[in-house]
Amino acid sequence: MNIFVPESVKIPTGIETKDFRIRILTINDLVKDYDAVMSSIDHLKGVFGPKSTWPSFNLTIEQDLVDLGWHQKEFENKSSFAYTVMKSDESKCLGCIYIDPSEKAGFDAKMICWVRKSEIKNGLDEKLFSTVKFWLKEEWWFNSVAFPGRDISWNQWYTFPDK
């Protein structure tokens, strides 16, 4: 059985660039997170794969609170890691990053990230993805991280054998 988090490692709390701040996602981010999701529903469809139903137009703020609480607890338990992507001044949620154990053989982890629709034209998606890839390589312990929906198509991802 693979161990997702070795006992000796310290989980990175985030990273900051001139364009954004990445930090741990908590329930305190509810209002800004909900705004980012709800303003980008069509854009976010399929970010977790073509079979995903998230997000939906009937997502309530209460359901988002439960999701954020779940992500916060998973982080505390070191079973997966969710980060918010904020403007440097914390005035707006720009997106999220999810680092999870991989269910597919050959990968230690998988990473999925998204940015709100209004930030696509600013090139934020590409900046975020390249920053997170570098961050995972430099500050995390993983040997092999999968980026389904980006470096690996979803169709290809589904063909990899499960662990």
Q: Is residue 4 part of a domain?
A: no
Please report, for residues 7, 131, 140, the alpha-carbon distance to residue 10 in angstroms, rounded to integers and kept in the order given.
8, 20, 9
Q: Is residue 123 part of a domain?
A: yes
**pLDDT higher than 90, residue 162:** yes
Q: Is residue 7 part of a domain?
A: no
User: And the tokens for 116?
Assistant: 């709100």
Which amino acid appears at position 116 of this protein? R
Which amino acid appears at position 19 of this protein? D
98: CATH = 3.40.630.30
Q: What is the pLDDT of residues 44-86, one digit of tens each?
A: 999 999 999 999 999 999 999 999 999 999 999 999 999 999 9
User: And the tokens for 3?
Assistant: 């161990």
Q: Is residue 8 part of a domain?
A: no
Q: What is the mean pLDDT of residues 121-148?
A: 96
Domain span at residue 64 reads 14-159
Q: Is residue 3 part of a domain?
A: no
Domain count, the chain: 1
CB atoms within 10 A of CB 49: 14
User: What's the pLDDT band for 2 if we cut at 50, 70, 90?
Assistant: low
Q: Is residue 41 part of a domain?
A: yes
Q: Is residue 130 part of a domain?
A: yes
User: What's the pLDDT band for 28 if we cut at 50, 70, 90?
Assistant: very high
* Per-residue confidence (pLDDT) for residue 71, from 0 to 100: 98
Q: Is residue 37 part of a domain?
A: yes
User: 129: phi > 0 → left, psi -120 to 50 → alpha, else beta; which?
Assistant: alpha
What percent of the chain is predicted at pLDDT more than 90? 94
Exposed / middle / buried, residue 53 (Cβ in 10 Å: 0-12, 13-18, 19+): exposed
CB atoms within 10 A of CB 117: 14
**pLDDT higher than 70, residue 5:** yes
**pLDDT higher than 80, residue 1:** no
Q: What is the mean pLDDT of residues 6-10?
A: 89
Whether the CB-CB separation of 16 and 132 falls below 8 Å is answered with: no
What percent of the chain is predicted at pLDDT more than 70? 99
